[in-house]
Amino acid sequence: MSEKLINKVKVKNSMGLHTRPATAIVKLLQNSKSNVYFTHKKDTINAKSILSILMLAAGKNSSITITVDGEDASTTMANLVSAFENKFDEN
């Protein structure tokens, strides 16, 4: 059964969504069966694309709206929110 979830997160990384967190997001999503989109300002992108994530140019404290649509939406959303909360394990 497919479900659609929407959640807002804040970018906590000091350098924003740069290459390392973008890579972490793509790796986290590679086994997800859901469609995942990030919206920042007026841009909505496919979160499974590292280039798209980098092109959002989301800096520290940016607000990102995550939309997850698919059969594993709740697990995918929980993993993403946790990754943002933990700054993608950056110190």
Cα distances (angstroms) measured from residue 88 to each of 1, 70, 82: 29, 23, 8
Determine whether 18 is an active site residue: yes
Taken in order 45, 63, 86, 73, is the CA torsion positive or negative? Answer: negative
- Options 5, 11, 13, 18, the catalytic residue: 18
What positions carry a catalytic annotation? Answer: 18
